[in-house]
Chain A
Amino acid sequence: SQTIHQWPATLVQPVGSPLSLECTVEGTSNPNLYWYRQAAGRGLQLLFYSVGIGQISSEVPQNLSASRPQDRQFILSSKKLLLSDSGFYLCAWNPGQGYGYTFGSGTRLTVV
């Protein structure tokens, strides 16, 4: 069966520090991978998605970047965090069109 792992679960970082959040999927190959951010427990905003190794599409210009160094690994990064980067970050995957998403358990990021 397929599983998705996301870590860490919570993170408190100072303004200006770097960020690296990791997401991995097991039990499947060539998944579509996504990073979403959720502010204040409401709407989900798509940040990045990837349909293959090294292929990253950005939905919203911002202080963040994403990379996919391996087929089942998706990384969200920042060189210098801003206060506005605080939020709940969710990784998700799907095998293709029409299958919906499976989400990870999320990372609660607080920038102080």
Chain B
Amino acid sequence: QSALTQPASVSGSPGQSITISCSGSNSDVGGFNYVSWYQQHPGKAPKLLISTVSNRPSGVPNRFSGSKSGNTASLTISGLQADDEGTYYCISYTSSNTLEVVFGGGTKLTVL
């Protein structure tokens, strides 16, 4: 069972917008602005999309955006494209004295 809770799946049609949530606690998502989001295609390594809640690394399209409210972070993808299909993970720093980071279980995005 993952420390951060994500929906197992979401879907949307090309051109639409979708949002993926990532729920944690005051010890991780809610307590720090160190939430990052990743896209993973089958057989590939995860790719960093969003860092520190809402910052996009160079080269990531502005269709991808991140936000946070309380203990829940969110990733929004606007103007869905076929290539956006894949699995999305959130990761957060944690103040746990036994772990550095905690992961979400992943959300499978299907582009209809």
Are A and B bound to each other?
no
* Interface residues of B, Cβ cutoff 8 Å to A: none
- Chain A interface (Cβ < 8 Å from any Cβ of B): none
